[in-house]
């Protein structure tokens, strides 16, 4: 079996780990850490940190300044309740505003971590995009476990995460 992993709408994803039960012990057979090093505003679309390229897919109508998926060290994988420290060495997959978005006064250059444009003061910014992992080969695996570290909690009632997989 091969799987792709989809993350939809406004989620910070620190890393993914797929494990399978082989007897008593768990054996990790796929991990994504998104690389290391200080960077900013790197699109997640086409990113290959060693497992193959990630793809960003539009899943609905998007405003001209729709937020987008980045992989950068701007959010830096900090602990829950801790804001991004900017330009650390732990890259994460996250949704952030694009350069020049009208309501993003706090981050005119785009990608200041998992801070995205909600459309405050204008209208709601529609962002309907998902990040798709490279194919994950699950041949011969059983009792598969997916582990993720994530943070979500921004605009009340609008932040959510969907994890889909398909064979």
DSSP 39: -
* pLDDT in the model for residue 164: 80
* pLDDT in the model for residue 82: 63
* pLDDT in the model for residue 24: 61
* pLDDT in the model for residue 95: 85
Tens of pLDDT along the chain (167 residues) come to 444 444 443 333 434 555 555 556 778 888 888 888 888 889 999 999 899 999 999 988 888 888 899 998 887 766 655 666 667 777 888 888 899 887 777 788 888 877 778 776 556 677 888 899 998 888 888 888 888 777 665 555 566 677 887 76
Residues 130 and 62: beta-carbon distance below 8 Å: no
* pLDDT in the model for residue 7: 43
Among residues 72, 125, 83, 79, which one has the least CA distance to residue 102? Answer: 125
Residues 15 and 31: beta-carbon distance below 8 Å: yes
């Amino acid at each position: 079996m091969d799987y792709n992993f989809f993350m939809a709408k406004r989620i910070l994803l620190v890393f993914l780990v797929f494990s399978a039960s082989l007897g008593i012990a768990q054996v990790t057979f796929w991990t994504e850490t998104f690389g290391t090093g200080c960077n900013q505003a790197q699109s997640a679309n086409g990113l290959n940190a060693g497992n193959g390229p990630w793809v960003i897919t539009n899943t609905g109508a998007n405003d001209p300044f729709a937020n987008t998926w980045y992989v950068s060290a701007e959010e830096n994988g900090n602990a829950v309740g801790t804001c991004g420290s900017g330009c650390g060495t732990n890259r994460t997959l996250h949704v952030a505003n694009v350069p020049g978005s009208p309501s993003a006064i706090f981050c005119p250059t785009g990608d200041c971590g998992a801070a995205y444009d909600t459309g405050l003061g204008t209208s709601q910014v529609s962002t309907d995009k998902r990040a798709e992992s490279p194919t994950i080969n699950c041949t011969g695996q059983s009792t598969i476990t997916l582990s993720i570290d994530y943070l979500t909690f921004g605009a009340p009632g609008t932040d959510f995460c969907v994890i889909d997989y398909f064979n």
